[in-house]
């Protein structure tokens, strides 16, 4: 008896061997964390743009470090969830197109929309998703012959 290819069976297959899902989530969390700490440093420098040394001192303070860790964690979680959801969408839909990005964005942006503090971070999240979209388009472009 042959196995019927349905979205449910493809999703179940994705969880039978979760290594690729774990790799995608880890990749997203790593890139998101690096991006988060970068954005935290930029925010600290911009808030004290008249004197860069004040920005450095602000980042070195306990409050600055707490903000940096929070921003790093938010973006590590956001981009990890995004990449995990995108992988599951690819596996379930059996397509590799912009629809997966839209589905994954819906999953990843929901906590940002629900939390007032995180709404201010949404433009950075949109930037990350846009960069992933551009990367996907470059990787899947047909070579010129």
Rounded to whole angstroms, the Cα distance separating 117 from 101 reads: 24
Within a 10 A sphere around the Cβ of 53, how many other Cβ atoms?
Answer: 8
| C-beta of residue 41 within 8 angstroms of C-beta of residue 119 | no
| 0.85 surpassed by pTM | no
Rounded to whole angstroms, the Cα distance separating 108 from 129 reads: 10
pLDDT > 90? residue 125:
yes
How high is the pLDDT of residue 142?
Answer: 65
* Residue 6 vs residues 3, 13, 14, 18, 94: alpha-carbon distances, Å: 9, 11, 12, 19, 9
| C-beta of residue 39 within 8 angstroms of C-beta of residue 124 | yes
| C-beta of residue 103 within 8 angstroms of C-beta of residue 89 | yes
| pLDDT tens per residue, range 78-102 | 999 999 999 999 988 888 888 999 9
Mean pLDDT for the chain? 84
Least confident residue range of 8-12, 47-51, 105-109, 139-143: 47-51
How high is the pLDDT of residue 57?
Answer: 64
Q: What six digits make up the tokens of 45?
A: 């420098």
pLDDT > 80? residue 103:
yes
Using 50, 70 and 90 to split pLDDT, how confident is the model at 71? confident
């Amino acid at each position: 008896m042959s196995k019927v290819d349905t979205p449910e069976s493809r999703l179940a297959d994705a969880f039978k061997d979760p290594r690729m899902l774990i790799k995608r989530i880890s990749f997203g969390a790593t890139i998101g964390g690096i991006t988060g700490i970068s954005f935290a440093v930029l925010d600290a420098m911009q808030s004290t743009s008249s004197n860069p040394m004040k920005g450095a001192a602000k980042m070195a303070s306990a409050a600055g470090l707490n903000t940096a860790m929070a921003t790093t964690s938010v973006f590590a979680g956001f981009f990890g969830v995004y990449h995990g959801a995108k992988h599951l969408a690819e596996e379930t839909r059996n397509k590799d197109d912009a629809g997966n990005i839209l589905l994954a964005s819906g999953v990843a942006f929901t906590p940002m929309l629900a939390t007032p503090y995180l709404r201010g971070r949404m433009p950075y999240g949109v930037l990350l998703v846009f960069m992933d979209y551009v990367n996907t388009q470059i990787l899947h472009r047909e070579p010129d012959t």
